[in-house]
Amino acid sequence: MLGTLIGDIVGSAYEFSHFKGKDFAPLFHPKARFTDDTVCTVAVADALVRGADPQATLIDWCKRYAENGGWGKQFAFWFLDDDPQPYGSWGNGAAMRIAPVGLLASTEAEVLSWSDTVSAITHNHPDAMHSAQAVALAIFWARRKTSAQDIGQQLTARYGYPLHLTPDVIRPSYKRTEKAIDSVPQAISCALHSTSFEDAIRNAVSLGGDSDTIAAIAGGIAEALHGIPNDIAAQAWDYLPKDMQAVISALYKEVESST
């Protein structure tokens, strides 16, 4: 899960810049910060760890950090509504917040069930729900030592995603979009075709798209594939407020106790 937050923080500085390179320095830009992607991911983790209602928990966290900004217009209307209802979103927001499911679920059936539960409260369009399933499954399988190649083949067979495409192939013609179908497979590829955690984050930023979300998705998968270097984890930790740190610590404690 921390991999997701690192991707969000690193990618935040490039979200609207159409940046198309991997060689940016430093890794954490002076303008980097956590965004709505981090808030929503922490909320999902909090709900799962405490066994709390995911909708109420997501709304609570979003209202707590409402002034942080970065919210999609429809999503902001949703969490501020007196009677929030799913709004058929086909966006990548469900996939962006799903990493805790892949970490905590104990079976594939549980991955799919939990993923649908925390996605459908907002993103109940099939494209969005499938993309969240795919990310959660990738993390679940990677934690069980499934190779990146096998993960790609299984996801392609299940969802039809072109995961054979490398970031170098995707990058030249890629354009920013928040559509799940046109951003989540690309984010997954950034992780599956990476050589390290940092390489996955750099792959994601280099596409020049919805950088914080693509890097968040790639980062969650890359953490499960490669682990996170201690220095990068330590830098990211300092960006996060105490309430988020507490949830992250509780999540990893739960993960450790279940393995």
Q: Which of 114, 105, 104, 62 is nearest to 250 (CA)?
A: 104
pLDDT digits (tens, 9 = 90+) for 38-68: 999 999 999 999 999 999 999 999 999 998 8
pLDDT of 239 above 90: yes
pLDDT digits (tens, 9 = 90+) for 76-135: 999 999 999 999 999 999 999 999 999 999 999 999 999 999 999 999 999 999 999 999
CATH architecture classification, 2-257: Orthogonal Bundle (1.10)
Instruction: Report the pLDDT value the prediction gives residue 98, as an integer from 0 to 100.
Output: 98
List the domain boundaries for the chain: 2-257
pTM over 0.85: yes
Alpha helices in 65-125 (DSSP H): 73-80, 93-96, 99-104, 108-120
pLDDT digits (tens, 9 = 90+) for 201-211: 999 999 998 99
Whether residue 6 contacts residue 201, with contact meaning beta carbons closer than 8 Å, is answered with yes
CA distances from 259 to 30, 113, 118 (A): 37, 20, 23
Number of H helices, E strands in the chain: 15, 0
- d(C-alpha 4, C-alpha 38), whole Å: 7
Q: Which of 134, 58, 119 is nearest to 89 (CA)?
A: 119
What is the average pLDDT across 175-202? 97
